[in-house]
Amino acid sequence: MSNNPSLRVLLVEDSVLLAARLSELIGRLPDVDLIDTVETETDALDRIASSVPDVLILDLHLRTGSGFGVLRSLARHTAAQRPKIIILTNFGLPAYRREAESFGVEAFLDKSRDYFRLPALLQDFAKQRASPDMS
C-alpha cells in the first residue's frame, strides 16, 4: 500500500544481552528497521549524524558518556531535524524523567516495567510516518 521506506531506528544501549533482545524484538516489527546498535555517547552522536535515524532508543547510562549528553547535543537541532526519542532505562527516577522530558522525548520507559510498550510505540511512529498528514 505504501511506498514509504521503513522507520529507521538507532539503538543506543551498552548491555549486550538487552541490545540482542531488542534487536530481535525490533526485527519482528513490520515497517521498522534497526539500522545499528551503539553503546557510547560519541558513537551515538556520530551515527545519528551519518545515518539520520527516525527514532532513537536511548539508554541513560552508557559505556562512556550518557544519554543525557546525547539529549543535550540533540537539543541544538530543530524538532524537524532530530529523531523521535524513546528513553529506555533502569533508572526511572522522577528527576531523570523530568530532565528527559524537558528535552522533548516522546517516551520515558523503565526497562523492567515498560519494555513491552516498545513495539507498540515503534509501530505507532511507523504509521505516523507513513501518514500523508503527519506533522
Q: What is the pLDDT of residues 74-94, one digit of tens each?
A: 998 776 679 999 999 998 889
The mean pLDDT value for 56-80 works out to: 91
> What sections of 7-117 are H helices per DSSP?
16-27, 41-51, 67-74, 94-102, 111-114
CA angle at 76 for the pair 107 and 51, rounded to the nearest 5°: 70
Residue type, 83: P
Whether pLDDT at 124 is above 90:
yes
Show the cell assigned to 49.
549524524
Contact 24, 16 (CB under 8 A): no
* pLDDT, tens digit (0-9, with 9 covering 90-100), for 31-53: 999 999 999 999 999 999 999 99
Taken as a whole, the chain contains a residue count of 135
Kindly list the structural domains of the chain, giving each domain's residue range(s) and its CATH number in brackets, ordered by start.
7-129 (3.40.50.2300)
Q: Is the dihedral of CA 30, 111, 87, 15 positive or negative?
A: negative
Name residues whose C-beta falls within 8 Å of residue 76's C-beta, 6 or more positions apart in sequence.
none
Tracing cell 543535550 back to the chain, one arrives at 72
- What's phi and psi for 13, nearest 5 deg? -150, 130
